[in-house]
């Protein structure tokens, strides 16, 4: 078997692995056989294809020899492989290699047909397979061809991580699939007295992936397998002295793939000691500025943490919990491990009072979104939601309940049918909250159901909406608003049912206009068909409420300008609908509600972004009732809701409108006093709605929300007026007077998106995208006051002084993004890897002066020393092959060899010289020009290497900024997007004095 990955052209670097051996098969009983691999050899490949040789991985072969010596048993009936049995010492990885061999023997031959199709089970799942059989009577041979379409499978074995929040664009995949795969088998059979003998079997599989449309290039993983019959031996295979245990069937089994990142291969011998070493490196080298390798080192820390036992994490915590720098790195790494151990660690440390509420909140949000959803994790979050200590903290209670909904959403996303029992506890809590008439709890449980997106939640949510009698209409309007927004994730699974409900709400002219406009927002997110959009347009034609009419018209009109493929049908429908509506609606002033949608999308690259803003107003209000803003990203035939923020000001409107004098044209101080008076009166009201509410959604999941109500304000006043807080404020001011220095470091795993699928040879192929970042800032602050404050001053004295602050900040950031395609296992890696590194340092020195008494404020930027290169981006694509037994000998090969770059660059220069010579000669002789033109080549290669520099000089500030761009890519072979990306690229931004 030989697996080779990279771009399809020769002369570029590729990475691969080869397994060579003899295979022995013998019968033990009826339908049971033994299989043994003899003289196995493993080879690695990282070089320029096809001229560079394969390199024997002798140490890895020796390490696996013991496992290969153990034969396995398998069931084989009428060409179909059944159950497999193997000793416990045979690892899942080696067993999958055996599956790759047995997969060749999987044959469903029909005696009555020569050409037929069926869904056939194999190592990669149950996929559409076509058989074609011919006979060569002269040679006494039977030829069989079998092809498997890996894009049409009843059951396809695949493991995704980080992709659950994305939504596939069906239209994009119709035009151009990002991932395609097919396998072709060719057999030569020889008839024998009791059947047929397989003389030769050759398998060729091709899996290709393109982040863009296929016309813009695709990387590929090619797998070739060959079995050739050698001889029949008399000696049977003898099983080893061990218990043979059932080890599944022919289907590939995932093992430690998710714990092993494809970016680096780490031999973990002592996880605890290795974690200590990595932590020491990170803390030591990221003080003044971020080390350029800090993101990769942080990813290494995460990987070792994933392999560690829970007890190891406990030991590390006990060792460093009192050391602030180490504590922060641990608390940033553990939540993104993504294992149940991480969630358990956070829970236990909070219960033991070893974590603060703010630390626990940050850790829980990250852990819930990174953890792999399974029944164990869901049960753990459910028990946390019932814990008294969690329930006593409003912030943690909300985070845990919202996280519970997110876990169910992730769990159900991987299931064709998701059990409704998981969501019933929340549905019952919602019923109880309605019975208690508790708006806060009703809103919380609505948001949880909204996160789950389970279709069974549609009925309980519908009962909260004002369409089922007086019980629902008596609830506060903010409850109705959140009930409508809770339908959004359900609409992605059941758009038709949700559309009918939303249209009913929108058509009800007795409803408050804000609820009707929210229904319009959610309705268009379901991407309604032409008939429904036209119905909306007809309703708007006779709409008397100009707020609703303006909002709907602006929403329809903004969608007509959408170029994103996922919105193509909606944009077409809106183009028709906007012609039905009166253009007078376009001339309504900004006092009326508006919806804005803007996107930019490149169809050939399948890449784009979108932003939407919804401004919901009311004729009687002095500020918007609601504002919603969200961003979307489109990439590789998928879409994701990145970030959404919503604000409602219902209570604030009510409080301010009770004091009409606020809107009078008075001076700023008087207006502020009137606002404060209005808010004081609001606090004394017996039945008051929250002043405002805000929510934040990330990747379509609500992660936090807050109500600014009386309890919130009373708690804030109580905290800020305590003697300890006032004392803390005085100490902070004194510290600023004497000068303070602070170092801040924040590592992040921004994204981890992975797709792992088995190849026909039984080794896993992985497509991955990782982004890690580390930011640091060294801050120094010095304060001075005029007049000087007395020793026992009160904070109110600051309002009568002239305060001057001088701050020097040295921020730095390092970001690494890795894109990987290739073989990734715990013992070997052979992959194409593209790495982008951003490093930036931009120090600043600021001086600020605040004269509170005279209300004068002044800000100055002071001169500061900085490195000449303030930012640099380097992108490199290469082939890498390495194994765990011989890590120092890893082989890394740039995708475009140096000699190719030099050759094409020389050819390009020669071509330019020739063309300039021809141009000069043509001016003197028309005859000579015709002769030269006749010999002129029609196709010229592009240069593989180019460098450019752009500079801008700002005379007013005496600075000169330059951007240097250098690239070495494979576009000289094909002038398309993927080939332009493959290679080396660098962008450097420099800043220096123009006098230099």
Say which residue the tokens 């209409």 belong to. 473
Mean pLDDT of 312-326: 92
Mean pLDDT of 701-709: 83
Q: Does position 275 have pLDDT exceeding 90, yes or no?
A: yes
| 88 exposure class (CB count in 10 Å sphere: 0-12, 13-18, 19+) | exposed
Q: What angle do CA 343, 362, 628 make, to 5 degrees?
A: 120
How does pLDDT run across 377-399, given as a tens digit for each residue? 899 999 999 889 999 888 899 99
Helix axes 58-69, 92-104, angle to 10 degrees: 80
pLDDT at position 713 is 63
Q: Does position 683 have pLDDT exceeding 60, yes or no?
A: no
In angstroms, rounded to a whole number, what is the distance separating the alpha carbons of residues 410 and 770?
Answer: 20
> For residue 924, what pLDDT band results from cuts at 50, 70 and 90?
very low
In angstroms, rounded to a whole number, what is the distance separating the alpha carbons of residues 856 and 500?
Answer: 58
In angstroms, rounded to a whole number, what is the distance separating the alpha carbons of residues 420 and 545?
Answer: 40
How does pLDDT run across 182-235, given as a tens digit for each residue? 999 999 999 888 888 999 999 999 999 998 888 888 999 999 999 999 999 988
Hey, which residues does 132 pair with through a beta bridge? Answer: 115, 145
pLDDT at position 743 is 81
Mean pLDDT of 287-297: 90
How does pLDDT run across 618-642, given as a tens digit for each residue? 765 557 788 999 999 988 888 899 8
For residues 842 and 811, the answer to whether their CB atoms sit within 8 Å is yes
How does pLDDT run across 954-971, given as a tens digit for each residue? 766 677 888 999 998 888
Hey, which residues does 192 pair with through a beta bridge? Answer: 195
Tell me which residue of 677, 783, 680 sits closest to 739, measured CA to CA. Answer: 783
Q: Does position 584 have pLDDT exceeding 90, yes or no?
A: no
319 or 961, greater pLDDT: 319
For residues 743 and 812, the answer to whether their CB atoms sit within 8 Å is no
Maximum average pLDDT range among 275-289, 636-650, 706-720: 275-289
Q: Fill in the DSSP letter of residue 887.
A: G
CA distances 414 to 170, 249, 374, 411, 732, Å, are: 18, 22, 10, 6, 51
Q: Does position 928 have pLDDT exceeding 80, yes or no?
A: no
In angstroms, rounded to a whole number, what is the distance separating the alpha carbons of residues 216 and 392?
Answer: 56
CA distances 890 to 55, 288, 829, 879, 913, Å, are: 11, 33, 10, 11, 42
3-state SS string over 203-245? Answer: EEEEEEECCCCHHHCCEEEEEEEEEECCCCCCCCCCCCCCCCE
How does pLDDT run across 356-371, given as a tens digit for each residue? 998 999 999 999 888 8
802 or 412, greater pLDDT: 412
Q: Does position 747 have pLDDT exceeding 60, yes or no?
A: yes
**DSSP H helices in 54-108:** 58-69, 92-104
> For residue 715, what pLDDT band results from cuts at 50, 70 and 90?
low
In angstroms, rounded to a whole number, what is the distance separating the alpha carbons of residues 508 and 506?
Answer: 6
**DSSP H helices in 4-91:** 58-69
How does pLDDT run across 111-126, given as a tens digit for each residue? 888 999 999 999 999 9
Tell me which residue of 757, 763, 879, 766 sits closest to 260, measured CA to CA. Answer: 766
Number of H helices, E strands in the chain: 30, 32
Q: How many CB atoms lie within 10 A of CB 256?
A: 14
CA distances 176 to 170, 173, 257, Å, are: 10, 5, 29
């Amino acid at each position: 078997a030989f697996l080779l990955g990279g771009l399809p052209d020769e002369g570029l670097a590729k990475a691969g692995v080869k397994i060579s051996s003899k295979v022995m098969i013998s019968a033990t009983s009826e339908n049971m056989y033994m299989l043994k691999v003899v003289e196995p050899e493993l080879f690695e490949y990282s070089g320029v294809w096809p001229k560079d040789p394969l390199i024997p991985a002798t140490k890895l072969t020796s390490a696996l020899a013991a496992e290969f010596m153990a034969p396995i048993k398998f069931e084989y009936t009428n060409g179909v492989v059944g159950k497999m049995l193997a000793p416990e010492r045979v690892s899942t990885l080696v067993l999958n290699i055996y599956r790759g061999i047995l997969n060749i023997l999987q044959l469903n031959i029909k005696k009555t047909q020569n050409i037929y199709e069926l869904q056939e089970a194999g190592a990669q799942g149950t996929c559409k397979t076509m058989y074609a059989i011919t006979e060569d009577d002269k040679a006494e041979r039977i030829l069989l061809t079998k092809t498997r379409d890996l894009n049409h499978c009843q059951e396809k074995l695949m493991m995704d991580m980080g992709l659950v929040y994305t939504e596939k664009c069906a239209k994009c995949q119709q035009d151009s699939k990002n991932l395609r795969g097919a396998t072709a088998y060719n057999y030569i059979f020889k008839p024998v007295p009791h059947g047929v003998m397989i003389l030769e079997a050759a398998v060729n599989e091709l899996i290709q992936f393109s982040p863009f449309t296929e016309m813009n290039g695709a990387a590929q993983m090619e797998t070739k397998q060959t079995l050739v019959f050698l001889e029949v031996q008399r000696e049977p295979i003898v099983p080893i002295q061990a218990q043979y245990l059932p080890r599944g069937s022919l289907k590939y089994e995932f093992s430690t793939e998710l714990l092993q990142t494809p970016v680096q291969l780490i031999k973990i011998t002592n996880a605890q000691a290795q974690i200590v070493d990595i932590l020491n490196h990170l803390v030591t080298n990221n003080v003044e500025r971020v080390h350029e390798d800090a993101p990769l080192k942080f990813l290494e820390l995460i990987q070792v943490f994933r392999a560690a036992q829970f007890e190891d994490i406990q030991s590390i915590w006990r060792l460093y919990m009192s050391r602030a720098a180490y504590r922060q790195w641990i608390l940033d790494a553990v939540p993104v491990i993504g294992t149940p151990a991480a969630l358990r660690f956070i829970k236990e440390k909070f219960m033991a009072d070893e974590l603060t509420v703010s630390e626990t909140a940050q850790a829980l949000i990250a852990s819930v979104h990174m953890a792999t959803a399974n029944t164990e994790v869901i049960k753990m979050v459910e028990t946390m939601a019932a814990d008294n200590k969690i329930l006593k903290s409003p912030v943690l209670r909300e985070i845990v309940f919202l996280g519970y909904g997110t876990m169910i959403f992730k769990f159900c996303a991987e299931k064709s049918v998701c059990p409704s029992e998981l969501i019933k506890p929340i549905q019952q809590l919602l019923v109880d909250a309605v019975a208690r008439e508790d708006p806060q709890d009703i809103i919380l449980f609505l948001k949880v159901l909204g996160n789950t997106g389970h279709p069974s939640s549609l009925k309980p949510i519908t009962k909260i909406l004002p369409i089922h009698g007086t019980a629902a209409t008596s609830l506060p309007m903010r409850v109705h608003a959140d009930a409508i927004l809770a339908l959004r994730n359900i609409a992605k699974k059941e758009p038709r049912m949700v559309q009918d409900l939303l249209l009913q709400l929108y058509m009800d002219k007795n409803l408050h206009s804000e609820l009707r406009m929210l229904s319009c927002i959610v309705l268009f997110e379901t991407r309604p068909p032409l008939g429904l959009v036209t119905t909306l347009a007809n309703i708007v034609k006779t709409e008397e409420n100009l707020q609703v009419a303006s909002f709907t018209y602006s929403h329809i009109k903004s969608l007509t300008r959408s170029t994103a493929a996922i919105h193509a049908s909606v944009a077409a429908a809106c183009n028709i609908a906007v012609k039905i509506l009166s253009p007078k609606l376009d001339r309504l002033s900004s006092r009326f509600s508006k919806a804005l949608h803007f996107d930019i999308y490149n169809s050939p690259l399948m890449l784009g972004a979108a932003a939407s803003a919804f401004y919901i107003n009311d004729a009687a209000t002095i500020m918007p009732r609601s504002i919603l803003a969200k961003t979307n990203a489109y990439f590789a035939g998928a879409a994701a809701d990145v970030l959404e923020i919503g604000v409602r000001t219902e209570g604030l409107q009510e409080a301010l409108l009770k004091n009409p004098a606020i809107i009078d044209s008075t001076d700023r101080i008087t207006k502020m006093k009137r606002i404060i008076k209005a808010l004081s009166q609001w606090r004394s009201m017996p039945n008051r709605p929250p002043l405002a509410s805000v929510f934040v959604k990330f990747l379509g999941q609500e992660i936090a929300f807050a109500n600014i109500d009386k309890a919130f304000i009373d708690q804030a006043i109580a905290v800020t007026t305590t003697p300890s807080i006032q004392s803390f404020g005085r100490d902070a001011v004194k510290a600023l007077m004497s000068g303070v220095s602070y170092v801040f470091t924040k590592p992040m795993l921004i994204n981890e998106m992975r797709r792992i699928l088995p190849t026909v040879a039984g080794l896993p192929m992985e497509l991955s995208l990782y982004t890690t970042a580390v930011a640091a800032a060294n801050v120094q602050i010095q304060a001075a006051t005029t007049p000087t404050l007395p020793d026992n001053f009160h904070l109110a004295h600051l309002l009568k002084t002239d305060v001057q602050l001088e701050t020097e900040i040295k921020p730095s950031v390092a970001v690494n993004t890795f894109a990987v395609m290739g073989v990734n296992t715990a013992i070997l890696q052979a992959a194409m890897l593209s790495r982008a590194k951003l490093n930036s340092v931009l120090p600043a020195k600021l001086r600020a002066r605040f004269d509170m008494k005279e209300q004068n404020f002044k800000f100055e930027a002071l001169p500061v020393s900085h490195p000449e290169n303030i930012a640099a981006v380097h992108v490199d694509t290469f082939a890498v092959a390495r194994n765990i037994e011989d890590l120092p000998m890893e082989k890394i090969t740039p995708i475009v060899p140096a000699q190719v770059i030099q050759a094409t660059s020389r050819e390009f220069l020669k071509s330019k010289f020739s063309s300039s010579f021809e141009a000069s000669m043509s001016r003197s002789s028309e005859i000579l020009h015709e002769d030269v033109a006749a010999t002129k080549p029609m196709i010229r290669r592009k240069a593989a290497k180019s460098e450019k520099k752009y500079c801008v000089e700002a005379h007013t500030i005496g600075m000169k900024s330059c951007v240097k761009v250098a690239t070495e890519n494979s576009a000289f072979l094909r002038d398309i997007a993927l080939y332009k990306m493959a290679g080396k690229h660098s962008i450097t931004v420099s800043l220096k004095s123009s006098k230099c």
